Structure formats: structure tokens, C-alpha cells
Amino acid sequence: MAKNSVGEVLDFPGVISWGNDLAAVRRSLASALVDMAEVNLSRGESLPLPNALLTDPEADLEEPIYLILSASTHVQIVPTLIAS
């Protein structure tokens, strides 16, 4: 892929990202997918259903990406201490 490549998750509207190379696009796209899923859930919206049949005829490369969710009834945030 050329520099400044773009990636999108076809079956999750709004999940679009870019990067300088394919590895950067993959990392950025995975992060964008998690962010969009969190936004949907925080708004009480459902997540789009996966659709492996969607395709983009203009794409140079198509590959699957998976969103794996975990849930809990308690969230604990542990701050990282900064050494002085």
C-alpha cells in the first residue's frame, strides 16, 4: 500500500482511519473500531451487525477485523504513578 493509506470497517459506519503504512492503518483502525463501539454503547445505541458480504470494489485490499467485547458490573481505574 502507498503512503497515507486509508482503511475503513465496511460494516461499522464511521470507522475510518489512515496511516503511513499498512501496519499503522491496521493499528489505527482497530483503535477507531473500539472507540466507535464505546460511543455507540455509551449512547445506548446498538452495534451494527457484522456483514462479511460487504465489499468495496475500489479497495486495494480487504481483510477481516474483529471486535471482541468484554463486560463487567464494576469498572476499576488504576492510575499510573509518575516517578518524581
Q: Convert the pLDDT of each residue in 6-60 to its tens digit.
A: 999 999 999 999 999 999 999 999 999 999 999 999 999 999 999 999 999 999 9
Q: Which pLDDT score, from 0 to 100, does residue 65 have? A: 93
Instruction: Determine the structural domain holding residue 52 and report its residue range.
Output: 1-84
**Distance of alpha carbon 82 from alpha carbon 84, whole angstroms:** 6
The domain tally of the chain equals: 1
Average pLDDT, stretch 65-72? 83
- CATH number of residue 69's parent domain: 3.30.160
Q: Are 63 and 10 in contact (CB under 8 A)?
A: no
Looking at per-residue pLDDT, the higher value among 4 and 29 belongs to 29
